Amino acid sequence: MKSSTERLLRACLRRRAHHGALMMDPTDLHWLSATDAARLIRDGIISSAELVEACLRRVHEVDAEVQAWAFLDPDHALAQARAADAWRLEGRPTGPLHGVPVGIKDIIETADMPTEHGSVLYAGRTPSRDATVVAMLRAAGAVIMGKTVTTEFATYTPGKTRNPHDPGHTPGGSSSGSAAAVAAGMVPLALGSQTNGSTIRPASFCGVYGLKPSHGLISRHGILALSRTLDHVGLFGRTIEDIALLAAQIVGYDERDPDTRPRARIPFVEMAAEEPPLPPMFAFVKTPHWERADAEMQAAFAELVEHLGDRVEEVELFPSAVEAWEWHRRIMEAEMAANLEREWDKGRDRLSESLRAQLERGREVRALDYQRAVARIGPTYESFAELFEQRYDAILTPAAPGTAPKNLASTRDPAFCTLWTLTGMPALSVPLMQGANGLPLGVQLVGPRDGDARLLRTARWLVTRLAAG
Amino acid sequence: MKSSTERLLRACLRRRAHHGALMMDPTDLHWLSATDAARLIRDGIISSAELVEACLRRVHEVDAEVQAWAFLDPDHALAQARAADAWRLEGRPTGPLHGVPVGIKDIIETADMPTEHGSVLYAGRTPSRDATVVAMLRAAGAVIMGKTVTTEFATYTPGKTRNPHDPGHTPGGSSSGSAAAVAAGMVPLALGSQTNGSTIRPASFCGVYGLKPSHGLISRHGILALSRTLDHVGLFGRTIEDIALLAAQIVGYDERDPDTRPRARIPFVEMAAEEPPLPPMFAFVKTPHWERADAEMQAAFAELVEHLGDRVEEVELFPSAVEAWEWHRRIMEAEMAANLEREWDKGRDRLSESLRAQLERGREVRALDYQRAVARIGPTYESFAELFEQRYDAILTPAAPGTAPKNLASTRDPAFCTLWTLTGMPALSVPLMQGANGLPLGVQLVGPRDGDARLLRTARWLVTRLAAG
């Protein structure tokens, strides 16, 4: 590292330390935000190889305990970093994530690494292509660090990962490794997915930001398909600006994902950094499953609402919302049964019992009931769209029922995520609170479809406001 | 009519007579093509009121026998025509269909006329809005002439319409009235729909052009929904240029039809009028249901293929194509069961027995089997896309198994349409042939998705080539 520029670097690390939720050693690069790291690499203050080496040291230090990685070849990661450095030194144009390492959930295909879907059925399989999001990350200059642990087929049966805040606790799932790797400082950014609560819940349990974007905003081509209606790519980072930076690289139309649409570029980074023109209004929504939230979570929300004063109002959901969980289950199970039909036919004895039971139920759903559930999504979303048009900037609701339980056999209840996944609205888990056990507790913000960048701006306002006391 | 311009008008009518398949009286305006009529109105040679009056006289003359109309209020049609004339005389800008009457299938909503879906369940119902296509037609200046007869819910149970070539024969369905009204010279253009063979088959039986466009090209918002996957708007006209003119007005993105896409304007009229850069190559496809075609149809095709010489090759379908009819049935029945659930719940005793049986079957389809069928559409289409990329401009195949049967109780077998509807490819029925009984026989041309305008150009080449002998 150039000593003349150490001061700038230290300032970045101090800034990081100020925002971060975890203890950190400011002399080490692995806690840099992706935004700072990209800037320092661009300006030649650090090299990508130095950054990736620091991240690899961190992996070496903590991953025996955390076990966030399904695949990580240090030489391959370093080779990418060195190639990025050589490229820059030749004076060639660099992308916004040039030299920055990103973790990729092990259901997202990578042409140079295995993609095993958390199942023995796919052990050792290396696909022949990159998923669209991986190709877009490479085009932005990112180093594909490795593959992060997923639960079995991104459903309920956990992988080996532990919560970096306390290894006796679950990291949540299904994007367990992505959330844990970012939280533990092994990588500044990671991709996951969400079909029910697979991004928001582990982000909440691990104390990082997790964005489940609007349905159709980010291509799912080359990613394990469970449910076209419900599958989303998920984004993990330790700062809002990092989430914005990552989103800006991977949002876009892809003709191979029929739910994406051509649209104008969304200025994620710029909008996330802006001050809202007016202080936002929040709708506090308990959902019909409020009784599932821990007393601690309920109390934390009461405090938060009190603190926000006239900026928040409690909003009761329309009565039919209570059925949304059943619609979600029916759609997810029916679509999973179709998408995992080959696995069912050829290897059902090597699936977990719970996945087998899910698929069995899914195989019996009637097309009529399935379509009925799908048909409810539009009107359900419309009720929320009205809420946003009339008065509110974001819904405020728990990300999970409480902190990560002391139980590695379950990733806990996704009930606080289901409604927003079903309706395809953008949802962000914000690491704002802490339980009595010291574990993180996420606040979930939800915005109208395609309002992802504004949601980040609203989140930034909220974090700043709460930091101001 | 201005006598000074009678010569021009007579030329138009003679041109019409030359192309037309029916006997016509060249002194009457109702046989004008839409293209000619629009030009004559634009140039002030005839008025819209004169044209609509001529069409209404024709209705008066033949409709007691043909019975193409479910609703037709002559005063309302004339009032629209007079308003169009007044508008033009004020020097205001006129649209491409200014003053030209169009018939609308009675499953397409019109705010100023009933829309009864061919069912007693909807008797007397007038919707509060226009379907997107109707609004687009009005924006183009068209006179909405009236509502044309549909079979019950655009399925199999016939309405009152008879074949204008011989009233003992079926006009085909489900767009029975639209095909018959255009064929009988009651209106130059009409809209229908197709979920299996509802445009191509009646066009073939009535001896007019019928276009089932690419799936997603024309909005279905405000039209009875049977099956999102299979429903298409259908277009009827007596010339290729009229089909192009009509298509140009109603193609477009509509956010209320999730299968439409924003895209660049397609120059339908210009392209349909162009000479192909090279003589087109045709793929003659018998389909697995060739044995259902009459001996007469088979012989006519043998002659046509002989006549086209090296411009046509017989192409054998890939083996799995034989299953496409079953996939289509499963999708159609499952989606109809969902879309007609309210009718089933509240009025199933007033549905025809055959529709009731269809819905009963549809209600029992498993979501797994339904999704499996939907998942086959993409790969099936890809096999055809390859065919077009490699060598062929259009597929040549029968529009129906033969001429209209002497049976008013059935609209006959749609088997020659099913595959192209399932795959969403544009299909055009071209009134090229005649049976021994004097009734028309259609040739069906099919092109690659979104190649609708090119398909019209190819059809024009074919018609010209065959006219040249």
Per residue in A422-434, pLDDT (tens digit) is 999 999 999 999 9
Mean pLDDT of all residues belonging to chain B: 94
Whether the Cβ atoms of residue A138 and residue A164 lie closer than 8 Å to each other: no
pLDDT of A320? 85
CB atoms within 10 A of CB A218: 28
Q: Which of A366, A372, A374, A376 is best to mutate for the B interface (most B CBs within 10 A)?
A: A366
Residues of chain A with pLDDT under 50: 1-5, 17-24, 26
* Start-end of CATH 3.90.1300.10 domains in chain B: 29-272, 273-322+376-467
Cite the DSSP H helix spans in B253-366. 268-273, 295-308, 324-339, 341-347, 353-364
Token pair listed for A105: 């959930």
The confidence band for B206, taking pLDDT boundaries of 50, 70 and 90, is: very high
CA B179, CA A149: separation in Å to the nearest integer? 60
User: A-chain residues within 8 Å CB-CB of B262?
Assistant: 261-262
Residues A34, A39, A45, A51, Cα dihedral to 10°:
20
Tell me the per-residue pLDDT of B177-203, one tens digit each, with 9 for 90 and over: 999 999 999 999 999 999 999 999 999
Q: Residue B146: helix, strand or coil by DSSP?
A: strand
CA A428, CA A420: separation in Å to the nearest integer? 10
Q: Residue B112: helix, strand or coil by DSSP?
A: coil
pLDDT of A22? 40
Which member of B363, B368, B369 has the closest CB to residue A368? B363
Tell me the per-residue pLDDT of A303-351, one tens digit each, with 9 for 90 and over: 999 999 999 999 999 888 899 999 999 999 999 999 999 999 999 999 9
CATH class of residue range A3-272: alpha beta
User: A-chain residues within 8 Å CB-CB of B261?
Assistant: 261-262
Choose among B232, B237, B250: nearest CA to B174: B232
User: A-chain residues within 8 Å CB-CB of B366?
Assistant: 363-367
- Give residues with Cβ within 8 angstroms of B39, minimum separation 6: B12
CA A252, CA A261: separation in Å to the nearest integer? 8
A335 contacts chain B (CB < 8 A): yes
Residue of B nearest to A332 (CA): B367
Reported as type and span, the H/E element at residue B124 is: none
- For residue B71, which amino acid is it? F
- Give residues with Cβ within 8 angstroms of B420, minimum separation 6: B200, B212, B395, B427, B444, B446
Residue of B nearest to A255 (CA): B261
User: B-chain residues within 8 Å CB-CB of A366?
Assistant: 363-367
CB contact under 8 A, B369 and A367: yes
User: ipTM score of the complex?
Assistant: 0.86
CB contact under 8 A, B370 and A369: no
Residue of A nearest to B330 (CA): A367
CB contact under 8 A, B365 and A365: no
pLDDT of A5? 47
- Asked if residue B262 has pLDDT above 60, the reply is yes
Better pLDDT: A410 or B415: B415
Name the one residue in this structure whose structure tokens are 């489900």. B174
CA B183, CA B210: separation in Å to the nearest integer? 11
- Asked if residue B126 has pLDDT above 70, the reply is yes
Q: Are strands B143-148 and B101-105 parallel, antiparallel or unpaired?
A: parallel
The catalytic residue among B33, B48, B105, B178 is: B105
Mind giving me the DSSP string for B45-68? SS-HHHHHHHHHHHHHHHHHHH--
Better pLDDT: B4 or B274: B274
A360 contacts chain B (CB < 8 A): no
Whether the Cβ atoms of residue A263 and residue A253 lie closer than 8 Å to each other: yes
A342 contacts chain B (CB < 8 A): no
User: B-chain residues within 8 Å CB-CB of A341?
Assistant: 368, 372
Note the residue count of chain B.
469
Task: Tell me what the mean pLDDT of segment B230-246 comes to.
Answer: 98
User: B-chain residues within 8 Å CB-CB of A363?
Assistant: 366, 368
The confidence band for B1, taking pLDDT boundaries of 50, 70 and 90, is: very low
A111 contacts chain B (CB < 8 A): no
Residue of B nearest to A263 (CA): B262
In degrees rounded to 5, what are phi and psi of residue A235? -120, 135
Residue B278 CB-density burial (10 A; 0-12 exposed, 13-18 middle, 19+ buried): exposed
Give the torsion sign (CA, A99, A100, A101, A103).
negative
The yes/no answer on whether domain B29-272 falls in CATH 3.30.70.1170 is no
pLDDT of B4? 41
Which member of A262, A369, A371 has the closest CB to residue B335? A371
CB contact under 8 A, B366 and A366: yes
Distance from CA of B334 to the nearest CA of A (A): 6
Token pair listed for B419: 């595959």
Catalytic annotation present for B178: no
- Asked if residue B411 has pLDDT above 80, the reply is no
CB contact under 8 A, A367 and B372: no
CB atoms within 10 A of CB B386: 12
Choose among A370, A455, A404, A72: nearest CA to B372: A370
CB atoms within 10 A of CB B412: 23
User: A-chain residues within 8 Å CB-CB of B364?
Assistant: 366
Q: Which of B345, B368, B382 is best to mutate for the A interface (most A CBs within 10 A)?
A: B368
- Region B273-322+376-467: CATH code: 3.90.1300.10
CB atoms within 10 A of CB B298: 16
CB contact under 8 A, A370 and B365: no
- Give residues with Cβ within 8 angstroms of A232, minimum separation 6: A193, A194, A195, A199, A212, A213, A215, A218, A220, A421, A424
A225 contacts chain B (CB < 8 A): no
A371 contacts chain B (CB < 8 A): yes
Token pair listed for A193: 């997915």
- Just list the catalytic residues of A: 105, 174, 198
pLDDT of A118? 97
Task: Tell me what the mean pLDDT of segment B228-233 comes to.
Answer: 98
CB contact under 8 A, B367 and A372: no
Name the one residue in this structure whose structure tokens are 């609203």. A458
pLDDT of A17? 47
A341 contacts chain B (CB < 8 A): yes
Cα–Cα–Cα angle for A461, A465, A467, rounded to 5 degrees: 120
- Give residues with Cβ within 8 angstroms of A194, minimum separation 6: A175, A200, A212, A231, A232, A234, A417, A421
Global pTM reads 0.90
CA A209, CA A189: separation in Å to the nearest integer? 10
Q: In Å, how far are A233, A427, B47 from A211, measured between CA atoms?
A: 9, 6, 61
User: A-chain residues within 8 Å CB-CB of B363?
Assistant: 366, 368
pLDDT of B10? 55
CB contact under 8 A, B334 and A362: no
Residue A103 DSSP one-character state: E
Fold of the A274-321+378-467 domain = Amidase signature (AS) enzymes (3.90.1300)
Whether the Cβ atoms of residue B56 and residue B78 lie closer than 8 Å to each other: yes
Q: Which long-range contacts (CB under 8 A, 24 or more apart) does B15-19 make?
A: B16/B238, B16/B239, B19/B238, B19/B239
Name the one residue in this structure whose structure tokens are 């199970």. A333
Choose among B220, B229, B168, B222: nearest CA to B196: B229
The catalytic residue among B48, B119, B174, B176 is: B174
User: A-chain residues within 8 Å CB-CB of B375?
Assistant: 338
Residue of A nearest to B366 (CA): A366
Beta bridge partners of B212: B427
B365 contacts chain A (CB < 8 A): yes
Distance from CA of A226 to the nearest CA of B (A): 13
A334 contacts chain B (CB < 8 A): yes
pLDDT of A127? 95
Q: Please, which residues 251-280 of chain A have a Cβ atom closer than 8 Å to chain B?
A: 261-262
Better pLDDT: B411 or B364: B364
Residue of B nearest to A360 (CA): B368
Strands, E assignment, B10-158: 69-71, 101-105, 143-148
CA B179 from centroid of its chain's CA atoms: 7
* Start-end of CATH 3.90.1300.10 domains in chain A: 3-272, 274-321+378-467
A370 contacts chain B (CB < 8 A): yes
Task: Tell me what the mean pLDDT of segment B290-319 comes to.
Answer: 94
CB contact under 8 A, A366 and B363: yes
Which member of B338, B365, B368 has the closest CB to residue A375? B338
Residue of A nearest to B256 (CA): A378
B362 contacts chain A (CB < 8 A): yes
Residue of A nearest to B341 (CA): A368
